[in-house]
Structures are given as structure tokens and as C-alpha cells.
Amino acid sequence: MSEQGKFITFEGIDGAGKSTHISFVADFLAARGKEIVSSREPGGTPLGEKLRDLLLHEKMHLETEALLMFASRREHMAQVIEPNLAAGKWVLSDRFSDASFAYQSGGRGMDRAKMEALEGWVHPQLQPDLTLLFDVPLEVARERLDATRALDKFEREQEEFFARCRAEYLRRAAQFPQRFAVIDSTRSIAVTQQAISEALEKLL
């Protein structure tokens, strides 16, 4: 049997620069002989992409939102994450459960104990081997977002919402220092990628 692959997640508030760096990580690891599967949440499966469309565009109760995030995640684990890790591939996911803590608990204020219960139910064993948290002040994230695209339901939230999301991400990073690498992504893309490479080297 092949050795189990590694699971890497990418997190940060909208506009932090997360998507920019996923292909860099994929190329970095492929150059070192790893087979890579890149995916995202919410989404990553046909059903998950339908849920993503609802989640990004429909107004709903905050607990409905959390449950649908975890429904998408459950499907993503069954169809993509677990089988590929078992086959020895490295799975890169643009967001995972830390995003639910940041956005639904931090941002929207859902009871954290309920979130922990969902996490414990949906993935009692699985955690990322590495979580790259792209961290920037809110003004920088907002500037980058405004420069690039039409905003979805989350991206239209106010500054205080993202301040709470960012604080919850940093709280999670402090709680699980062994798997988190907090990447200061106010710096240039090249300098940021140097920091990412250092975090990846530790996994190889």
C-alpha cells in the first residue's frame, strides 16, 4: 500500500491572497515528486458546488449556513479528501473547517461549542497536516478585493465582520500551533512565497 498523502489547507479572510498562492504550492510540491489534488470549500464535488452556489448567494439562518458548510465538507471528505490521501496523493484545499470557525462563529457569532460539536461529528480523526493562514490587516484585504472582482455575500460584509473572522483565525492558530503556519501576506508575493516554502519544507 502507498504511504498516506498529506492534507494542506489554505485559510484567511477574503482578499488576503490565499488563491494566489495555491498554484505556487501545487507547483512546489509537484517539483518534489508529489501527486497533487487541488480542491476547495464550500464545493469540491458536484453536490458541494451546488451547495456553494446557495451559500454564496442566498440569505439564510446562521446555523443553516453552518450545517450546509459541513454538509458540503462531508461530501468533499468522502469523494475527494479521504480517497486521495489514502492513495498517497497530497490534497490542497482552499478552506476547510477553520473557515467555519472564522466566518460562522467569529463573523456571525454562532456558538463555538456547537461548531466544535459539528467538527467532532464530521471529522473526529481528520485534521490538516498543515494549515497556511494568510494574514493581513483588513484594509489591505479590502483594497485587494475591491481591485479584483464582483463581491459575493460574504465579501460584502462590513469591516467588523472581517475583524471578528480574522481574530477567530488567529485564535485557532494559537490553539493548534503544531499544524498552523501564519503567513504575513502584507509583503510582496515573492517574499510571501519564501515563507510558504519554509513551512512546506518541514512537511517533506
Ligand X SMILES: Nc1ncnc2c1ncn2[C@@H]1O[C@H](COP(=O)(O)OP(=O)(O)O)[C@@H](O)[C@H]1O
Residues of this chain that interact with ligand X (CB under 6 A) are 12, 14-20, 144, 147-148, 185, 187-189, 192
* Residue at 64: amino acid letter: T
Name the residue nearer to ligand TYD (CB basis): 75 or 94.
94
Name the residue nearer to ligand TYD (CB basis): 28 or 96.
96
Site string for ligand TYD, 17-36 (x = CB under 6 A): --x-----------------
Name the residue nearer to ligand X (CB basis): 18 or 76.
18
Contact by Cβ (8 Å): 92, 38: yes
Question: From the list 5, 37, 41, 44, which residue makes contact with ligand TYD (rule: CB under 6 A)?
Answer: 41
Range 55-114, binding ligand TYD (CB under 6 A): 69, 94-95, 99-100, 103-104
* HSE-CB of 142 using CA atoms within 13 angstroms: 12
Name the residue nearer to ligand X (CB basis): 67 or 145.
145
Question: Residue 154's binding partner, choosing from ligand TYD, ligand X, none, with beta-carbon cut-off 5 to 8 A by kind?
Answer: ligand TYD
**From CA 70, how far away is CA 51, in angstroms rounded?**
10
Question: Residue 34's binding partner, choosing from ligand X, ligand TYD, none, with beta-carbon cut-off 5 to 8 A by kind?
Answer: none
The residues pairing with 10 across neighbouring beta strands, listed in sequence order, are 94, 132
Site for ligand TYD contains 180 (CB under 6 A): no
Binding-site positions for ATP read: 12-19
CA-to-CA dists, residue 115 to 41, 81, 110, 111, angstroms: 16, 21, 8, 7
Q: Which stretches of the chain are assigned E, i.e. beta strand?
A: 7-11, 36-40, 90-94, 130-135, 180-184
Q: Which range of residues in 110-118, 122-130, 147-155, 188-196 is near ligand TYD by CB under 6 A?
A: 147-155
**From CA 138, how far away is CA 65, in angstroms rounded?**
23
Q: How far is the CB of 33 from ligand TYD (least distance, A)?
A: 28
Question: Residue 103's binding partner, choosing from ligand X, ligand TYD, none, with beta-carbon cut-off 5 to 8 A by kind?
Answer: ligand TYD
Name the residue nearer to ligand X (CB basis): 104 or 192.
192
Query: How buried is 192 (Cβ within 10 angstroms: 0-12 exposed, 13-18 middle, 19+ buried)?
Result: buried
Contact by Cβ (8 Å): 168, 106: yes
**From CA 8, how far away is CA 2, in angstroms rounded?**
18
Q: How far is the CB of 164 from ligand X (least distance, A)?
A: 17
Handedness of CA 171, 184, 162, 118 (dihedral sign): negative
